[in-house]
Amino acid sequence: MKPLLEVDGVTLRYKIPGSVITATEQVSFTVNEGDRFVLLGPSGCGKSTLLKAVGGYLKPSEGRISIKDRTVTEPGPDRMMVFQEFDQLLPWKTVLDNVTFPLMNAHGLSASEARAKAEAAIDKVHLTRAMHSYPHTLSGGMKQRVAIARGMAMEPDILLMDEPFAALDALTRRTCQDELLRLWEETRFTVLFVTHSIAEAIKIGNRILLLSPHPGRVKAEIIDVDKVSATDGSAGRLEKQIHELLFTETDQAEAH
Amino acid sequence: MSDPHSVAPARIIMRDNHAPLIHPLEEKLGLMTRLWDDGFVRKAVILIALAAIWEAYGRILNNPLLFPTFSETMQAVVERIEDGTLPARAWASIKVLLMGYGVGVVMAGSLTILAINTRLGSDFLETMTGMFSPLPAIALLPLALIWFGLGNGSLVFILVHSVLWPVALNTHSGFRSVSQTLRMVGRNYGLKGFSYIFKILIPAAFPSILTGLKIGWAFAWRTLVAAELVFGVSSGKGGLGWFIFENRNLLEIPNVFAGLLTVIVIGLVVENLIFRTIERKTVLKWGLQS
């Protein structure tokens, strides 16, 4: 099967006043259709930068990113983003209008088609009763669920999620993770998920790409993550293994 | 140790929380307290008190030529409205004002759109606003009179000057403070150019834009009345400022007061009714301002 997303030897560098920082160096990976692919690593490993490059906000200085054989050159609605920040909903639109807006603008649907699609998506994240509310009246978890509904309603090739649950409280985060998995069971969309939490990566992903920091480089790829289970302790063991993998590297680096 | 409960690591001890409440959950406040909590009511009381003081002072002074009482002023207002002078003068002022305001806002919009798209445009806008916003528009009136002559041309020119800079400055800073996330969301939708500006940037920056429009209005209204005091010679065609000036020359002091009162009332209506309504229907409803 041909992969959906190909990231091939991508080096990302960005300018800050006075110097150029290398965020990632020669990172390669592929995502297949229906994957829940997680980019995992400590802060400074360039995982968010990498996701933004897939989103088309950054041009690789080396390498190529392509989705369904189209080279990514700019942001577009075939790669819907879900951000960590709660202000990603347009505050001047109701929940419903927030979801219909990209459907009408980017996909050119008529108002009634967009409305039907949006209502179905909002219903899937259980926010039907908040449909006509403005974002500022919603809780953080509800806002993130609207953002997910907005992304899913667009039926993108891939859903890009940049630590979407990191700013939530622990209880809400768990509910949101469960909900995301349930939605995936229903529609089997492809998702590229960035997190710095090992437990979240194991819970969400079926494949994990482990990145090491300064600059971000691929350290390992973990497959069949969905085979481990929290009940028999295998998830806990994997978490411990990943933890060791991530932190032996840092210790060596510090020893130098 | 046969009791299995004794080995439990944690226990739940239930408490009775069904007793009748001592304090009611929600208590209605009295009518007077609720009225006094309304800012509008409190301000109305202040206005009535001021009118009473004015009336009393006017009567003690008993010099209608210098300081008419509140009732004499109100009488003049009613008479001038009945004979149509005040509405005509007010309309003359507002017409010029709307012209200047409209041109100023459109120019400010174009300048700001230029500024957010190019670095040079941004530098240009910053330099121009830095230079011209400290300059009171009325100071340009002598020059405007030479360039455009006595008439509406000169008024519109200084009105544009008084509106353009504050609106451009606020719109520009509003655009720049739109969050990175919202910008990325807009581009994610594939919005570009004008549709990006009109569908993302303008609504997101609306609180600042509205502040700019309010400041621009306030500047323009004050500038206009001041400018009209200087001329308006095409008799009978002048605005409120000229009405005040004319009546002072005729020593019709109650009319002067009536003119001043009209200036205040129009200012209040626009600032507190029109702009307040726009605020309620936009930035307040969206939670962008509280």
Q: What is the pLDDT along chain B (290 residues), one digit of tens a residue?
A: 445 555 667 888 888 888 888 888 788 888 888 888 888 889 889 989 999 999 999 999 888 888 889 998 999 999 989 998 889 888 888 988 999 999 999 999 999 998 988 889 899 999 998 898 888 888 888 888 889 887 788 889 999 999 999 999 999 999 999 999 999 999 999 998 889 999 999 999 999 999 999 999 999 998 888 888 876 554 456 788 888 888 888 888 889 999 999 999 998 889 888 998 998 899 888 988 77
Q: Is the pLDDT of residue A79 over 70?
A: yes
Do B122 and B223 share a structural domain? Answer: yes
Give residue limits of the domains in chain A: 29-78+158-256, 87-155
Which one of B62, B89, B110 terminates a domain? B62
Same domain as B44, residue B183: no
Does B126 lie in the same domain as B32? no
Q: Is B207 found in the same domain as B249?
A: yes
The DSSP output letter for A218 is E
Give all strands of the β-sheet with A62-67 in edge-to-edge order: A19-31, A5-16, A62-67, A70-71
Interacting residues of A229 by C-beta distance below 8 A, sequence separation 6+ = A235
Are residues B121 and B230 both part of a single domain?
Answer: yes
Is there a domain that residue B100 lies in?
A: yes
Asked whether residue B11 is assigned to any structural domain, the reply reads no
Q: Six-digit token pair at B117?
A: 């798209």
Look up the pTM and report it.
Answer: 0.82
**Do the chains contact at A137 and B190, CB–CB below 8 Å?**
no
Domain A29-78+158-256, classified CATH 3.20.20.100, yes or no: no
Residue of B nearest to A101 (CA): B189
Assess whether B56 and B130 both reside in one domain. Answer: no
Domain span at B134: 70-284
Residue A250 has pLDDT above 70, yes or no: no
Please tell me the predicted confidence (pLDDT) of residue B235: 44
Instruction: Inform me whether the C-beta atom of residue A255 falls under 8 Å from chain B C-beta atoms.
Output: no
B282 touches chain A (CB under 8 A): yes
User: Which residues in chain A are contacts of B187 at CB distance < 8 A?
Assistant: 57, 74-75
Contacts of A90 in chain B (CB under 8 A): 182, 185, 200, 203-204
- Which among B180, B181, B188 is the top mutation candidate for probing chain A, defined by the most A β-carbons within 10 Å of its own β-carbon? B188
Burial A84-104, CB ≥16 within 10 A → b, else e: bbbbbbbbbbbbbbbbbbbbb
Cβ–Cβ gap B179/A92 under 8 Å: no
Chain B neighbors of A135, CB-CB under 8 A: 287
Contacts of B49 (CB under 8 A, 6+ apart): none
User: Is residue B16 in some structural domain?
Assistant: no
Domain assignment present for B290: no
Cα separation, A99 vs A76, in Å, equals 16
Contacts of A136 in chain B (CB under 8 A): 286-288
- pLDDT for B28: 82
Q: Which of B184, B176, B267, B177 is nearest to B224 (CA)?
A: B267
Same domain, B155 and B219: yes
In a domain, B257, yes or no: yes
3-state secondary structure of A31: strand
- B1 in a domain, yes or no? no
Retrieve residue A256's tokens: 């130098």
ipTM score of complex: 0.89
* B36 part of a folded domain: yes
Question: Are A92 and B203 inside 8 Å of each other by CB?
Answer: yes
Quote the pLDDT of residue B206.
Answer: 93
**Cβ <8 Å between A134 and B200:** no
Residue B263 lies in a domain: yes
Verify that B218 and B95 share a domain, yes or no.
Answer: yes
Range list of H helices, chain B: 31-36, 39-61, 70-82, 85-117, 119-132, 141-148, 152-176, 180-188, 193-196, 202-204, 206-230, 240-249, 253-268, 275-279
- Count of structural domains within chain B: 2
A·B CB contacts under 8 A? 64
Inter-chain residue contact A87 with B179, CB threshold 8 Å? yes
Q: How many CB atoms lie within 10 A of CB A174?
A: 14
